[in-house]
Structure 1
Amino acid sequence: MHAFPRTPDPDATFEEHEDFKAILRAGSEQFEIETVAEIHTAGPTFALYSASIGSRDPQAPALGFFGGIHGLERIGTQLILHYMRGLLFRLAWDTLLQQQLQRIRLVFMPIVNPGGMWAQTRANPSGVDLMRNAPQRADGQVPFLAGGQTLSPLLPWYCGRPGAAMETESAAVLKVVREQLACRPFSLALDCHSGYGFADSLWFPYAKTRRPMAHLPEMFALKTLLEQAMPHHDYRFEPQSRQYLLHGDLWDHAYDQAPDGNLFLPMTLELGSWLWIRKNPRQLFSRHGIFNPIKAHRIRRVLRRHADLLDFLARIAYAAPGWLPEAGRRAQLQQQAAAHWRPGRTP
């Protein structure tokens, strides 16, 4: 059991961190809470929490929600906290949800980079971009700086010192994935971000290469189910490599490290921040506003809109392996996926 301070020093915390702790206090009997690491900053030290709920069967499907890997992208964290809060209230009366959680495991890590979120920086307190901190390198040309650089932490998109151990936060994510998700026969992960662009995107491995991942048929089946269940969604669902290559992508590394025979499907939700800037151009003059909606009604709209996606993924986890393609069907889906996501084609 964890004890959380109730009257924090406002200079030693931030709103999302306190919201997360409030949810954990309220759900202390439902959530299994783990302190995965401690994150030290120039000011406070933050505990890095994960919270899990649902089936304890190690063979049960699992779904992980991650957010706050980039400290400036607070809306992803807010989306996960919104979903957790609703989940907790529904548990009191929603018998269908109760049945669902008897067969699946949900894992939450909504604030991966508390030091960056506290300091209002994209990187962690060491100046490392955690999404570029894994050891692998892209097999093609990456965008200058933005694809990951090892020149200096004073420049953006710093991967970390070559050969150095991964950052505490990155290692903590991989630990949670290894011990709570990828160790199971089937698991999913959704990492919530925001970034430049007018479109919301769902990206999946690889970012390091344009070669397809081994489980492209399963991703295409998942895409098809999403379109059937949410026919009016606006997500661009594609391998990240269709946009650009990247050094050190955390989810590429997590996917590659999954045990043979297990199926782990990680995705990144990229909320298009230009949508909010177009409606409120003054946000361009705010570092916070470049990556997040500012006005309260737009924040509420984002939370409402994307909560359906999180619920859909929970149902997908529950329904596995019923929708997963078998051998003959996989070959057919492989051909369809390769044609759909072929270079130069716009999905």
Structure 2
Amino acid sequence: MNLDKLIRTNIKNLKPYSSARDEYTGEAMVFLDANENPFNEPYNRYPDPLQRKVKEKVAAIKGCEPSQIFLGNGSDEPIDLLFRAFCEPGRDNMVTMDPTYGMYQVSADINNVEVRKVKLNPDYSFSADALLEKTDNQTKLIFICSPNNPTGNLLDKSEMTKLIQSFSGLVIVDEAYIDFAPGASLLSELNQYDNLVILQTFSKAWGMAGIRLGMAFASPEIIRIFNKIKYPYNINMLTQQKALELIEQEADKNQWVDLLIDERKKLAEQLNSFPFVVKVFPSDANFLLVKMHDARGIYDFLVEKGIIVRDRSKVVLCDDSLRITVGSKEENEILLEKLNELI
């Protein structure tokens, strides 16, 4: 991969904004460089723009180098940065699966980048060749999501590897739900592919959706481009502090994952017993895609009962389907109790 050919010319030539905390890091007796208010410590100080302490913790648990990590305001920030850095508006395009996570399309539309979609197979598997056939000289990015949202299935590793090895642009693998899957993350293979970008998040398995902290893993060269164009202080002090605190609770995270996988299995079995359920699709995530008779009617019924699921009936290949997040044992029992009233 030739990164110089991929990156937009204006981004390559961009002189990034240099904040006070970029120019000086470390301890000092008096800080008079950033026009900060001297009162209300520690919140009067700007946060570390590169989140060094958090990256050190993340690198330790992920088995990579801090230089291979970008931390964003959710995974949506690095998704947007990929378009801003590598896709010329009105000229370049990206390729993705259909159905998949909707923010790839939204970010592309915002950045005026053409989206080329390849429909998944009926069993929700994908073909690397089918995606590659959609590419041309103006294709800069290919997005895939594994486990996929909303279908829940882990993608075939050999097909993902083929895609990465065959495409001259960037392949982005979104692993937001990887902790719930039996297959290993591609993160261990990051050093083998200079065109691979892996997205993960603290929102799902770690239970930190409220602090909005996403992760992108890539070569140091790609990470430097992200840092060049991101907003100076994109991760606030409170988020960094809370992340450092919660990362220490990895044992709790692992326990939550085990419990949710167990609940996923039980919930799938019980949902399959209802006469209005056509199919519960296999899931490697923390949710189930469930095809039903009158999915919209059942959705409305659940809303009346104060239970909110996601109606995915209008999504390609997901007609008459609801996406149901796996909750706690108590939450799942309430759902099943209310559905039982429809029998």
Sort the TM-score into its range (normalised by shorter chain).
under 0.3
**With CA pairs under 8 Å and 6+ residues apart, which has the higher RCO, 1 or 2?**
1
TM-score, structure 1 normalization: 0.25
> Under a length normalisation based on structure 2, what TM-score does the superposition of the two structures give?
0.25
